[in-house]
Amino acid sequence: MHRLAGFNNPRQAQSFIDYMASRGITLTLASEPEGVFALWLTDSQHLIEAEAELTAFLANPHNAKYQAASWQVAESRTAKFHYGSPSLMAMIKSQAGPFSLSVMVVVIGIYLLWFFGLQQPIFDVLHFPLMNGDQWQVWRFFSHALIHFSTLHIVFNCLWWWILAGQLERHSGGGKLVQIFLVSALISGFAQFWLHGANFGGLSGVVYALLGYIWWSGWLAPERRLSIPKPYVVFMLVWLVIGFAGPLGMSVANMAHLFGLISGSAMALVDIKLIKTR
């Protein structure tokens, strides 16, 4: 199955489903968070035709041919709306890209080894350099982002990585996501190391960079159609403040979070300025 698009109006989505059914192409409708209804193409061999028809439909959804198609297929429907159930893997893949998915696979694989008792060997190989000669092991400046210390830690980071990195990769491509990953891992890692040492790890610094990049991009250049819901921003900023306040007694890489956010926001400012200059 292939996810075609998300609609806020299920009746409009059903109109397109009916039209495609009249052309012999099956689509299903699945509800998603925040009131979105996703259109899924059952057979990917019709992808090119479905995308072309979807573009035409979005340009003129009130065309008479769509209403006619709804009447034509009305008798064959047993319910007003049909909600499909795409598989979990199909949903994960539809909201991400090759690099974002690859990072998730690597992170989960490393955590499984960590969980089964290889904590020290993994940390010894991947931690941020101690600057005692290991600074020449260049991978360490980035690999610290792949280490997670608990199930809650990895679930939280992977969820936000999937949401934010997946959105950015689908919008701007894998190259931009790789750039933000490398730059933010480097900057957030240095900030955390200089103030608290090398005993840290996790994707959260990169996640906050993605938050900053998408947030500021949507604010400064809404025409790019890259944005993040305000409740997400509020939640992450509140979590950042809670980390510095430390009421829960948890060990949190606060400087990595803060400088990740700053680096991502700065990259957004630079990109938007370059785009507007061109």
All structural domains of the chain with their residue ranges: 2-90, 95-277
Please report which confidence band the pLDDT of residue 127 belongs to, taking 50, 70 and 90 as the band edges.
Answer: very high
Q: Enter the tokens of residue 122.
A: 């993994």
As a whole number, mean pLDDT of residues 249-262 equals 86
DSSP track, 75-121: GG-SSS--B----HHHHHHHT--HHHHHHHHHHHHHHHHHHTT-HHH
Any residues with CB less than 8 A from the CB of 238 and at least 6 apart, and which?
Answer: none
Catalytic residue (one of 46, 127, 144, 257): 257
32: helix, strand or coil: strand
Across 38-47, 88-97, 118-127, least confident range: 88-97
Interatomic CA distance for residues 142 and 127, integer angstroms:
9
Is pLDDT of 154 > 50?
yes
As a whole number, mean pLDDT of residues 113-136 equals 92
Is pLDDT of 87 > 80?
no
Any residues with CB less than 8 A from the CB of 236 and at least 6 apart, and which?
Answer: 160, 208, 211
Whole-number pLDDT of residue 252: 81
Axis-axis angle for helices 204-220, 230-245 (nearest 10): 140
User: Percentage of residues in the chain with pLDDT exceeding 70?
Assistant: 88
pLDDT higher for 93 or 55? 55
Across 94-103, 120-129, 172-181, least confident range: 94-103
- Give the pTM: 0.70
Q: Regarding beta strands 2-7 and 36-41, do their DSSP bridges make them parallel or antiparallel, or are they unpaired?
A: antiparallel
For the stretch 176-182, contacts whose Cβ atoms lie closer than 8 Å and that sit 24 or more positions apart, written own/partner, are 177/97, 177/99, 177/100, 178/99, 179/267, 180/206, 180/209, 180/210, 180/213, 180/264, 180/267, 181/99, 181/103, 181/142, 181/145, 181/206, 182/142
Catalytic residue (one of 184, 204, 217, 263): 204
Is pLDDT of 187 > 80?
yes
CATH topology of domain 95-277: Rhomboid-like fold (1.20.1540)
Q: Enter the tokens of residue 234.
A: 């509020």
Total residues found in the chain within this entry? 278
C-alpha dihedral sign at 126, 130, 134, 140: positive
Whole-number pLDDT of residue 82: 47
CATH topology of domain 2-90: Alpha-Beta Plaits (3.30.70)
Residue 198, CA distances (Å) to 60, 126, 129, 134, 275 in order: 57, 11, 7, 12, 37
Q: Enter the tokens of residue 59.
A: 């340009």
Mean pLDDT score of the chain = 86
Name the β-bridge partners of 29.
39, 83
Please report which confidence band the pLDDT of residue 79 belongs to, taking 50, 70 and 90 as the band edges.
Answer: very low
- Among the listed residues 199, 155, 149, 157, the one whose alpha carbon sits nearest the alpha carbon of residue 181: 157
Q: Enter the tokens of residue 229.
A: 């819901």
pLDDT per position as a tens digit, 188-240:
999 999 988 989 999 999 999 999 999 999 999 888 888 888 899 999 999 99
Active site residue 257: yes
Whole-number pLDDT of residue 164: 94
Active site residue 196: no
Stated as kind and residue range, the H or E segment containing 29 is strand 27-32
Highest mean pLDDT among 11-15, 80-84, 93-97, 249-253: 11-15
Interatomic CA distance for residues 245 and 222, integer angstroms:
33
Whole-number pLDDT of residue 73: 65
Interatomic CA distance for residues 122 and 146, integer angstroms:
10
